[in-house]
Amino acid sequence: MTHEEHHAAKTLGIGKAIAVLTSGGDAQGMNAAVRAVVRVGIFTGARVFFVHEGYQGLVDGGENIREATWESVSMMLQLGGTVIGSARCKDFREREGRLRAAHNLVKRGITNLCVIGGDGSLTGADTFRSEWSDLLNDLQKAGKITAEEATKSSFLNIVGMVGSIDNDFCGTDMTIGTDSALHRIVEIVDAITTTAQSHQRTFVLEVMGRHCGYLALVTSLSCGADWVFIPECPPDDDWEEHLCRRLTETRTRGSRLNIIIVAEGAIDKHGKPITSEDIKNLVVKRLGFDTRVTVLGHVQRGGTPSAFDRILGSRMGVEAVMALLEGTPDSPACVVSLSGNQAVRLPLMECVQVTKDVTKAMAEKRFDEAMKLRGRSFMNNWEVYKILAHVRPPVSKGNLHTVAVMNVGAPAAGMNAAVRSTVRIGLIQGNRMLVVHDGFEGLAKGQIEEVGWSYVGGWTGQGGSKLGTKRTLPKKNFEQISANITKFNIQGLVIIGGFEAYTGGLELMEGRKQFDELCIPFVVIPATVSNNVPGSDFSIGADTALNTICTTCDRIKQSAAGTKRRVFIIETMGGYCGYLATMAGLAAGADAAYIFEEPFTIRDLQVNVEHLVQKMKTTVKRGLVLRNEKCNENYTTDFIFNLYSEEGKGIFDSRKNVLGHMQQGGSPTPFDRNFATKMGAKAMNWMSGKIKESYRNGRIFANTPDSGCVLGMRKRALLFQPVTELKDQTDFEHRIPKEQWWLKLRPILKILAKYEIDLDTSDHAHLEHISRKRSGEAAV
């Protein structure tokens, strides 16, 4: 954007009106989106209206269309479903209904419509937009609106956000509600696993997804299911034999349970439905296993939204308002969505078209094409699932490589899932797999053992680090480490951990000059709650920690809402990295988040106190302030608490809460399980290639910078980056990367907390096209 275009966002909406509605099936996180649209809309100077009960409210008008205020969206963030209601609407499908809807909007001067819903709702909005001028002509002829009103409302801007738990919309990596639905499913699978193990049972779980197998597929990856049935990829004709063989093999290898996941729309190659009852009857009849069916149903739509969905909803809401206010009569109706971790705008009808193409391809039994149209991320999930569900690891003789896996740094949820997939993919490739206990210290002391397939069974859902992890760095033990590399014939090293795993990798690179034994390929997989490893936008464990903080903040806010006039100061982990404090602030609706990366002074603290004093005069009589543990050595949590207590005397009470190590614990979230599983698989594929490349005269000798890498997610792709190249991007004193993508989300946090600041619109998404996006999409 040029300087002239970059006008203050605060005046962008003056004289404009926006209506927001939720339509179709509800999804957790819709409220976060509604809240963001309302607050950012008001921030820009626009008037914002709620449309209650979806399109039905748009048609019926009257009390259904009400102006929203800042306070009317308070406490909405942690509620599931949609507060403004959603309804399936027959009237809007008829032109007569759309005529009434247009009349209701024109009378209120609303020419911007934000629709949150599935593909059906968004298609309806596009039809409405294309007919707009005809509808106005008819209304004018019928004398229902004046010529002046018609001119004022001459064009309708439409922006969509996809709220659908199925993640069935093409062009978006994640739709609002998908992550929360996975949370519900995985909680249930974990609970069922314990009872199934007690009784040696087989469980068939049916999850939602009429035309899209995303939920079923990711659930299977997240819980290591024995089999998954999805509509996009029907099983081969002899699947009954294959399934029974698989279940028997799992049992003979010592597992006490089988889990089979079925998408409700599952079909065979001939388009005949495969139901959960069919599968149960098959297993009982052929194998005589004690089998139970659980149909999850509407549980998946319920409950509180996950941290991911709240942040996604909030970011999309901001983007939607900007897209509406920057819209012109020529800009096509667009959808705002997330690709990797970037906000993008896509032409609505292109996305709808591709989404329809998938359904059509499936109906015409062109299943391979349906898979391709779903995008690379879906394909990747499927590939990894297929490899891991492969039960018979090859018994290959001869050309075995030996790869060791270890955890370094502090425990993080998802480490075990990464170890599991690394070990299993390694075994499938025909390697000898070793695990190292207690990090580099264990490598020096020889706490190393060879493991087989079932050693890591059931590890996906377990928190912490089963191998044991330490912060010790390798340098002072190079001699013992080198001796053990030779003794155990280690030819490659997979290091799963936090900042120490990365600095340890740098030390190993240095040590290669002195010790030939250290000349073996290694890869670092970032796993730390702090998300401070250079070379990756996300690290395993951060999503779990974020959800833990979020849940706690929700409970604290609830207690504060009960007592009124109370401000809570909460200290989060993260070392010097403000990721957790910032993201939890967005997800929990905090008034401020103090972090090291954005220095603050006594004047900022004063402004925050004054802001809270003003807030206590409104109906929202509570405050939530987050503070990263190392944001400032003098302005400690106690200092801030004392300051707030003194300044708030007679106006509000203050309380403080240090969350501590609960942030490192807990069962990993679906995101962390899935991310860890795919990172492990990707790392092992790279490793086997690197070992082959480094073969010299009968032994491994890897001495190039690219034989020691960090595997990280950057924007839209998983990349291997040499640790030595990342050195310049690192602030070693504070153990953080010099540039961090999430800092640009800080203004959103402040606007949603009602601070008058400049929103930098230069970083906004431009309209992209879906076909181009497909080739560059995140292969996560």
Residue type, 217: L
User: At residue 339, what are phi and psi to the nearest 5 degrees?
Assistant: -125, 120
Q: Is 629 annotated as a binding residue?
A: yes
Q: Is 735 annotated as a binding residue?
A: yes
| 379-383: long-range contacts, CB 8 A cutoff, minimum separation 24 | 380/678, 380/779, 380/780, 381/217, 381/218, 381/221, 381/674, 381/678, 382/217, 382/233
Q: Is 165 annotated as a binding residue?
A: yes
The two three-digit tokens of residue 455, written as one number = 């050693």
How many CB atoms lie under 10 A from the CB of residue 630? 17
Q: Is 565 annotated as a binding residue?
A: no
d(CA 271, CA 268): 5
Q: Is 64 annotated as a binding residue?
A: no
Catalytic member of 26, 126, 166, 537: 166
Q: Is 219 annotated as a binding residue?
A: no
d(CA 742, CA 582): 8
In contact, 153 and 166? CB cutoff 8 Å = no
d(CA 733, CA 636): 20
Q: Is 662 annotated as a binding residue?
A: yes
d(CA 304, CA 314): 15
Q: Do the strands 112-117 and 622-628 form a parallel or antiparallel pair, or are they unpaired?
A: unpaired
The two three-digit tokens of residue 195, written as one number = 């009872």
Q: Output the CA–CA distances (angstroms, integers) from residue 34 to 20, 128, 322, 482, 715, in the order listed.
A: 7, 21, 14, 58, 26
In contact, 683 and 675? CB cutoff 8 Å = no
DSSP secondary structure of 389-457: H--------S---EEEEEEESS--TTHHHHHHHHHHHHHHTT-EEEEESSHHHHHHHT-EEE--GGGGT
Q: Is 696 annotated as a binding residue?
A: no
Q: Is 298 annotated as a binding residue?
A: yes
Q: Is 301 annotated as a binding residue?
A: yes
Q: Is 566 annotated as a binding residue?
A: yes
Three-point CA angle 677, 679, 680, nearest 5°:
65
DSSP secondary structure of 646-664: HHTTTT-EEEEEE-GGGGG
Element (H, E) at 570: strand 566-572
d(CA 100, CA 116): 20
Tracing tokens 């409700």 back to the chain, one arrives at: 264
Q: Is 573 annotated as a binding residue?
A: yes
Q: Is 392 annotated as a binding residue?
A: no
Q: Output the CA–CA distances (angstroms, integers) from residue 147 to 15, 113, 339, in the order listed.
A: 19, 22, 43
Q: Is 468 annotated as a binding residue?
A: no
Q: Is 574 annotated as a binding residue?
A: yes
Q: Is 623 annotated as a binding residue?
A: no
**Cα dihedral across residues 25, 224, 389, 777: positive or negative:** positive
Q: Is 529 annotated as a binding residue?
A: yes
Query: DSSP letter at 669?
Result: P
d(CA 373, CA 774): 9
Q: Is 709 annotated as a binding residue?
A: no
Q: Is 56 annotated as a binding residue?
A: no
Q: Is 264 annotated as a binding residue?
A: yes
In contact, 340 and 778? CB cutoff 8 Å = yes
User: At residue 523, what are phi and psi to the nearest 5 degrees?
Assistant: -135, 135
Residue type, 121: S
Q: What is the CA radius of gyration of the chain?
A: 27
Buried b (16+ CB within 10 A) or exposed e, 96-120: ebbbbbbbbbbebebbbbbbbbbbe
79 CB-near residues (< 8 Å, 6+ apart): 31, 304, 305
Q: Is 658 annotated as a binding residue?
A: no
Residue type, 62: G
d(CA 363, CA 350): 20
In contact, 440 and 241? CB cutoff 8 Å = no
Q: Is 120 annotated as a binding residue?
A: yes
Q: Is 772 annotated as a binding residue?
A: no
Residue 166 annotated among the catalytic residues of the structure: yes
Q: Is 528 annotated as a binding residue?
A: yes
Q: Is 517 annotated as a binding residue?
A: no
Q: Is 190 annotated as a binding residue?
A: no
Q: Is 39 annotated as a binding residue?
A: no
Tracing tokens 């190392």 back to the chain, one arrives at: 630
Strands (E), 685-760: 695-696, 699-700, 708-714, 717-722, 730-731, 736-737
Q: Is 558 annotated as a binding residue?
A: no
d(CA 259, CA 221): 12
Strands (E), 298-371: 334-339, 342-347
Q: Is 663 annotated as a binding residue?
A: yes
Q: Give the active site residues.
A: 166
Annotated binding site for Mg(2+): 119
Annotated binding site for beta-D-fructose 2,6-bisphosphate: 471, 528-532, 566, 573-575, 629, 655, 661-664, 735
Annotated binding site: 25, 88-89, 118-121, 164-166, 201, 208-210, 264, 292, 298-301, 471, 528-532, 566, 573-575, 629, 655, 661-664, 735
Annotated binding site for ATP: 25, 88-89, 118-121
Annotated binding site for substrate: 164-166, 201, 208-210, 264, 292, 298-301
